[in-house]
Amino acid sequence: MRVRVLGTAAGGGVPQWNCACPGCSGARAHPGWRRRHASLAVQADEGRWYLVNATPDLGDQIEDCPELHPGPEPRRTPLAGVILTDAELDHTLGIARLREADAIEIVATDPVRHALLTGLHLGEVLTPYARLDWRPLGPGDRPLVEGSPLAVGAVPVSAKRPRYAAGRGAPDDDAWVVALRLTDRATGRSLLYAPALAAWPDTFQRAAEAADCVIVDGTFWSDDEPLTSGFGSRTATAMGHLPIEGPDGTAHRLAALEARTLYTHLNNTNPLNDPAAPQHSGLRKLGVEVAADGMVIDL
């Protein structure tokens, strides 16, 4: 299994266009600090790749990933489709960037599909340009491409729906936000990807224990970070993101796993955006990494 990390930032990216916090100012002064919106590209078969989430940075992310470049025919592309972990704008706005295709394959849970069709009216907007081919995403592992060894399954983690879907008809369901389990059936090795994690249910713990690589939500370092940064009125957990540090944080949970573990989806206020921040050494002692844009993971 080959996975490319296309981005590792939370909503707004690093730097965020309207923000002059230390993280964003540092990223403007030091381009190496910059992070694009969190996304992966995963190889389903020879010459066929899927995006995990379609971000506003999708165009630049594709250009920076040679495996996703079109050719040799003028309009032949290795990009086969998009797998969604949720319906948040930061993970779905990039779908519109794919409208030049004849068809767009979207793998999503039922609540996510409902939100995109009734909240964002994605079908009405895009079908005049490209056909939308929806494929269900559920707990059972299914091959991404017929004959491919790579299978995908969903691990429900949260009923948190995006703001634009509040009050709409779809019921509360933990499938609103899922972790993705990507399994190479030829080798048995697997990767678990959870860029948004509001809780750590037993089902997620079992999936993490079974995985060879776990990439999880590192949006906020501490639970009170949104408050102390001056940009929020709720804690990290109230916003649907478990913090990294603290008794309810995820660092000690990751350290206890035998898998390779990494953080992604960093908010611009997270001190980990500074490569010299002391928080990095603490994570290294635990054996936990911070994912970087452009990183390649082979399993």
Q: Is pTM beyond 0.95 here?
A: yes
Distance CA 173, CA 210 (A): 24
Asked whether 150 and 43 are in contact (CB, 8 A), the reply is yes
Q: How many CB atoms lie within 10 A of CB 253?
A: 18
Q: What tens digit of pLDDT does each residue of 139-189 get?
A: 999 999 888 999 999 999 999 999 999 877 677 889 999 999 999 999 999
The tokens of 84 are what?
């969604």
Instruction: Inform me whether the pLDDT recorded for 51 exceeds 90.
Output: yes
How far apart (Å, rounded) are the C-alpha atoms in residues 138 and 154? 5
Site of tokens 């603290």:
246
66-98 confidence digits (pLDDT tens) = 999 999 998 899 999 999 999 999 999 999 999
Contact status, residue 279 vs residue 286, Cβ threshold 8 Å:
no
Q: Are 193 and 212 in contact (CB under 8 A)?
A: no
Confidence of residue 42 (pLDDT cuts 50, 70, 90): very high
Nearest to 45 by CA among 142, 137, 150: 150
| Torsion sign (Cα): 281, 9, 194, 298 | negative
Judge whether 283 and 289 are in contact, CB under 8 Å. Answer: yes
Listed residue (109, 110, 116, 55) closest to 85, CA to CA: 109
DSSP string, 36-101: PBPEEEEEEETTEEEEES--TTHHHHHHT-GGG---SSTT--SEEEEE-S---HHHHGGGGGGTTS
The predicted-structure confidence for 252-278, as pLDDT tens digits, reads as follows: 999 999 999 999 999 999 999 999 999
Burial per residue of 14-29, b for 16 or more beta-carbon CB atoms within 10 angstroms, e otherwise: bbbeebebebbebbee
Residue 110 three-state SS: helix
Q: Which amino acid would we find at residue 196?
A: A
